[in-house]
Amino acid sequence: MPSIIAVELAELPYRVSQNEVMVAIKCMFQHRYEHIDRLLSIFQHDHIQSRSLVQPLDWYMQTHSFAEKNELYIEHAVRYGKEAIVRCLHRANIVFEDIEAIFFISTTGIATPSIEARIMNELPFSVHTKRIPIWGLGCAGGAAGIARAVDYCRAYPKAKVLVLAVELCSLTFQMDDVSKSNLIGTSLFADGVGCACVVGDDVQQQSVTPQVIDMQSVFMRNTEDVMGWDIKDQGFYVVFSRHIPTMIRQSIGEIVELFLGRSRIKISEIEHFVLHPGGKKVLDAYRDGLHIDEDKLAHAIAVLQQYGNMSSVTVLAVLQRFLQQSLTPRGYGLMMAMGPGFSCELLLLKWGDEA
If one compares 185 and 170, the residue with the highest pLDDT of the two is 170
Indicate whether 42 pLDDT > 90. Answer: no
Stretch 301-305: mean pLDDT, rounded? 96
Torsion of CA 107, 112, 118, 121, to 10 degrees: 150
Q: What percent of the chain has pLDDT over 90?
A: 75
CA distance 236 to 227: 12
Which pLDDT does position 355 carry in this prediction?
Answer: 47
d(CA 95, CA 132): 19
Query: Which residues are CB-neighbours of 128 under 8 A, at least 6 positions away?
Result: none
- E strand map for the chain: 3-9, 14-17, 50-53, 101-106, 130-135, 160-168, 191-199, 211-219, 227-232, 235-240, 270-275, 331-339, 343-351
**Whole-number Å distance between alpha carbons of 202 and 26:** 55
pLDDT-derived band at 39 (thresholds 50, 70, 90) equals confident
Quickly list H helices, 162-279: 180-188, 244-261
Give per-residue pLDDT as tens, 172-197. 999 888 787 888 888 899 999 999 99
- Report how far residue 19's alpha carbon sits from residue 259's, in angstroms, rounded to the nearest whole number: 40
Q: What is residue 179's predicted lDDT score, i.e. its pLDDT? A: 81
Max intra-chain CA distance, the chain: 62
Residues written for the chain: 355
pLDDT tens per residue across span 190-232 = 999 999 999 999 998 877 899 999 999 999 999 888 888 989 9
Distance (Å, whole) CA 267 – CA 169: 33
Alpha carbon distance, N-terminus to C-terminus of the chain: 7
How far apart are alpha carbons 111 and 141 in whole angstroms? 17
Closest CA to 312 of 281, 288, 343, 349: 343
Q: How far apart (Å, rounded) are the C-alpha atoms in residues 225 and 342?
A: 8
Angle, CA of 294, 352 and 161, to the nearest 5°: 95
Rounded distance between C-alpha atoms, residue 309 and residue 282, angstroms: 11
Annotated catalytic residue: which of 27, 88, 139, 195?
Answer: 139
Is the bond leading into 113 cis (omega within 30 degrees of zero)? yes
What is the reported pTM? 0.94
User: Residue 46: is its pLDDT beyond 80?
Assistant: no
169 labelled catalytic? no
Residue of 154, 184, 153, 152 whose CA lies nearest to 169 = 184
